[in-house]
Amino acid sequence: MGDRERNKKRLLELLRAPDTGNAHCADCGAADPDWASYKLGIFICLNCCGVHRNFPDISRVKSVRLDFWDDSIVEVAVVLQFMIHNGNLRVKAKFEARVPAFYYIPQANDCLVLKEQWIRAKYERREFMADGETISLPGNREGFLWKRGRDNSQFLRRRFVLLAREGLLKYFTKEQGKSPKAVISIKDLNATFQTEKIGHPHGLQITYRREGHTRNLFVYHESGKEIVDWFNALRAARLQYLKMAFPELPESELVPFLTRNYLKQGFMEKTGPKQKEPFKKRWFALDCHERRLLYYKNPLDAFEQGQVFLGNKEQGYEAYEDLPKGIRGNRWKAGLTIVTPERRFVLTCPNEKEQQEWLESLRGVLSSPLTPLNRLTASTESGRSSR
């Protein structure tokens, strides 16, 4: 066996070695990483590898399977020994020793800007090492973001001010204006990266409650670090609020509610409460933590047209395949029905694949128990809908 094949075999054995964490990307947790940073001693996925290439002084990467690992590159015996001594779990313990609870750790399916800033924070800025400075909860934050207009698609520069201790986020239409356009309570706020929907690699969707509706703000910043810093500052402010609102709950139960990604989004068609109205195309977004299914005319609408609170099966909520007898969809035939104590919501999906994905997502929410935060949501609103 040649040196190249022998070295590749040793690397593949390292990937499969138990108790090393090497079977998942050291940065985003993606399964079966097939790239290695031989300067850091870790295995990473293709997406995270692309970020590592941007700082060669800190990280040098090669493909485990496709690249040649021979003595013409580096002293491969030394490199292999370094990889054996380190590995994903050991390196993570070093570079992630003090990650604050509010800091979002990206997963495999998250957008690139979150992964990039996480990797840079870990290895380039070394923010989470044990001997670094203590990272405190952010207090106030002020800066400019590009915000999409409510009634048009134009993004305009707006000043945002976060007052974490007061539990408020404000934004102003005039750069030096004293009267804010909106004052948003951290209690009702959520932020989630929606890069594809917004059409910008740094696109962030901020939502909050206003007069019984969900108000959407779509913003971005040219700097990836700046928009991720805003995102984590909003999470930190939420953590402060939740700790005060639910002092009896451990921090680990509050963290999932700092910000919430949608479990599923996409177009479906729906009929009205009498189930005789024409089916109309709507954009749906499923918030599994708040157990809300929201629907809009268009993905970037400022307000939803309606929403469905999703309790659990014991309370009479159900989702099943197909349409009630005698009802036919318009263009789409793959139907599903959501049953609540108040009414039935009759929907059709573009195809059977989408139908099954929606059913799986909805049933996952309906089968899960209500948390204290869910009960707070349910006490204020249940099953409200409009056309």
Residue-by-residue DSSP string for 275-306: S-SPPEEEEEEEETTTTEEEEESSTT-SB-SE
Q: To the nearest whole number, what is the mean pLDDT of the chain? A: 88
Cβ-in-10-Å burial (0-12, 13-18, 19+) of 2 comes to: exposed
Give residue for tokens 């070394």. 126
- Rounded to whole angstroms, the Cα distance separating 59 from 36 reads 10
Does pLDDT of 365 surpass 70? yes
Does pLDDT of 13 surpass 90? no
Task: Give the per-residue pLDDT at 109.
Answer: 94
Task: Give the per-residue pLDDT at 169.
Answer: 97
Looking at domain 260-378, which of 3.40.50.720, 2.30.29.30, 1.10.3720.10, 2.60.120.10 is its CATH number?
A: 2.30.29.30
Does pLDDT of 374 surpass 90? no
Inter-CA distances, 73 with 38, 77, 128, 240, 344, Å: 11, 11, 31, 50, 65
Task: Give the per-residue pLDDT at 220.
Answer: 98
Structure confidence by residue, pLDDT tens digits, 146-188: 999 987 789 999 999 999 999 999 999 987 778 999 999 999 8
Contacts by 335-339 with C-beta closer than 8 Å and gap 24+?
336/362, 338/293, 338/308, 338/310, 338/362
Does pLDDT of 74 surpass 70? no
- Which range, of 18-27, 136-145, 330-339, averages the lowest pLDDT? 136-145
Highest mean pLDDT among 81-85, 137-141, 256-260: 256-260
Task: Give the per-residue pLDDT at 78.
Answer: 52
Task: Give the per-residue pLDDT at 126.
Answer: 93
- How far is CA 129 from its chain centroid? 24
For residue 382 the two structure tokens come to: 């249940």
Task: Give the per-residue pLDDT at 211.
Answer: 83
Q: What percent of the chain has pLDDT over 70?
A: 90
* CATH superfamily of the domain spanning 1-128: Arf GTPase activating protein (1.10.220.150)
Q: Helix, strand, or coil here: 387? A: coil
Does pLDDT of 106 surpass 60? yes
Angle between helices 3-16 and 76-85 (to 10 degrees): 10
- pLDDT band for position 12 (cuts 50, 70, 90): confident
Give 126-194 as a 3 state SS string: CCCCCCCCCCCCCCEEEEEEEEECCCCCCEEEEEEEEECCCCEEEEECCCCCCCCCEEEEHHHCEEEEC
Mean pLDDT of 364-370: 92
The pairing of strands 35-37 and 42-44 is: antiparallel
- Rounded to whole angstroms, the Cα distance separating 201 from 204 reads 9
- Rounded to whole angstroms, the Cα distance separating 218 from 166 reads 23
- pLDDT band for position 134 (cuts 50, 70, 90): low
Mean pLDDT of 40-46: 93
Given a contact cutoff of 8 angstroms between Cβ atoms, the answer to whether 219 and 147 are in contact is: yes
> Is 260-378 in the same CATH topology as 138-253?
yes
Q: End-to-end alpha-carbon separation of the chain, Å?
A: 69
Does pLDDT of 64 surpass 60? yes
Task: Give the per-residue pLDDT at 97.
Answer: 95
Greater model confidence, 18 or 231 = 231
- pLDDT band for position 286 (cuts 50, 70, 90): very high
- Rounded to whole angstroms, the Cα distance separating 84 from 119 reads 22
Mean pLDDT of 26-42: 92
**Overall fold of domain 138-253:** PH-domain like (2.30.29)
- How far is CA 373 from its chain centroid? 19
Domain segments of the chain: what residues?
1-128, 138-253, 260-378
Cα dihedral 287, 291, 296, 299 in deg (nearest 10): 0
Give residue for tokens 């790239």. 35
Q: What are phi and psi of 171, to 5 degrees?
A: -135, 150
Does pLDDT of 75 surpass 70? no
Task: Give the per-residue pLDDT at 133.
Answer: 67
- pLDDT band for position 370 (cuts 50, 70, 90): confident
According to DSSP, the residues that pair with 337 across neighbouring strands are 320, 346
Mean pLDDT of 324-334: 85
Does pLDDT of 387 surpass 60? no
Task: Give the per-residue pLDDT at 382.
Answer: 44
Given a contact cutoff of 8 angstroms between Cβ atoms, the answer to whether 238 and 189 are in contact is: yes
Does pLDDT of 138 surpass 80? no
Task: Give the per-residue pLDDT at 18.
Answer: 84
- pLDDT band for position 383 (cuts 50, 70, 90): very low
- Rounded to whole angstroms, the Cα distance separating 121 from 49 reads 15
* DSSP letter for each residue of 246-279: -TTS-HHHHGGGTS---SEEEEEEE--TTS-SPP
Inter-CA distances, 55 with 40, 52, 82, 114, 190, Å: 12, 6, 20, 17, 33
Does pLDDT of 1 surpass 50? no
Q: What percent of the chain has pLDDT over 90?
A: 67
Does pLDDT of 76 surpass 80? no
